[in-house]
Amino acid sequence: MLDKKLVNFQKKSLKERFLLVIGILFFLVYFCLGLLIIFWKNFPIAISVNYRIAFGVILIVYSFLRFLRFFNSNTK
């Protein structure tokens, strides 16, 4: 299974590889931003703790949805 993914990655054009890296990068950005919003004690924007946690969870869920959608559309 891992060999198949490696061969699939090597067959991709330079543009497709770049988009793969950008997709992974933005997954990490949204995921880390969600964690940062949840766990930052002195958050610079005055939001109640419940809303801050909810917004962080929404960002984390969104990052996983982007991740799943990107890799499901990328399997050819």
pTM: 0.75
In the chain, domain spans: 36-76
Using an 8 Å Cβ cutoff, are 55 and 37 in contact? yes
Using an 8 Å Cβ cutoff, are 34 and 57 in contact? yes
pLDDT digits (tens, 9 = 90+) for 51-63: 999 999 999 999 9
Using an 8 Å Cβ cutoff, are 73 and 58 in contact? no
Q: Name the residue among 75, 72, 5, 60 with its Cα closest to residue 27.
A: 60
pLDDT digits (tens, 9 = 90+) for 20-31: 889 889 999 999
